[in-house]
Amino acid sequence: MAFVLGDSPIHPLTADEVMRMLDAGIIPKDNRFELLHGMLTEKAVKGPDHCELKSRLAEWLWNPGSHRVRIEGVIRVADDTSLPEPDIAVVERADHLHEHPYGALLVAEVAKTSLKTDTQIKPPLYAEAGIPECWVVDIKAGRVRVFRDPTPDGYATYTTHGPTGTLQPLEVDVEPLDLAALFDGLR
């Protein structure tokens, strides 16, 4: 993705450059930025509803032994100018002490003020990395948008679920998610 300012091209930052800037202290470790397509984008302050839904998802996905649940942790994707930080990423159980995991079994974004980024910008990055599915929990609509069947150009399948019923991940061994319980108290 090429960016220009006036008639001058903008140099996109790479994931490795940003990691080196973090290590050197140029970017503070407690930053509120996310690298997407070479640009450091500001992350919004999370409201209580966002935090609660994220916690409900993490508790539901918790299954010691079979996988690891990362909350707002960086994952590596094929685009070397992006380091997305999904709200929830379910990754293979492994040692990620020295390197962020590449890809995930499932990513989930909780969206209230970030719906456009979470539904238009991030899913193609996740699909290109081969992540089997991306869920976007739309707080305002009380729905979960599910992107599946990754291709190099994005997800081939898109469905919407909720506010009732259940939803089952493809690659994560957990009980089906009760959507009414997930969205309980929002309206």
Q: Mind listing the domains of the chain with CATH numbers? A: 46-183 (3.90.1570.10)
Evaluate whether 150 touches 130 at the Cβ level (below 8 Å): yes
| This prediction's pTM | 0.91
Residue-wise pLDDT for 49-79, tens only, equals: 999 999 999 999 997 777 899 999 999 999 9
- Give dist(CA 30, CA 35) in Å, integer: 14
- Angle at the Cα of 181 (from 176 to 187), degrees rounded to 5? 140
pLDDT confidence of residue 1: 59
Q: Alpha carbon of 25 to those of 32, 85, 178: distances in Å?
A: 14, 19, 43
- Give dist(CA 168, CA 175) in Å, integer: 7
Residues of the chain with pLDDT under 70: 1-2, 187
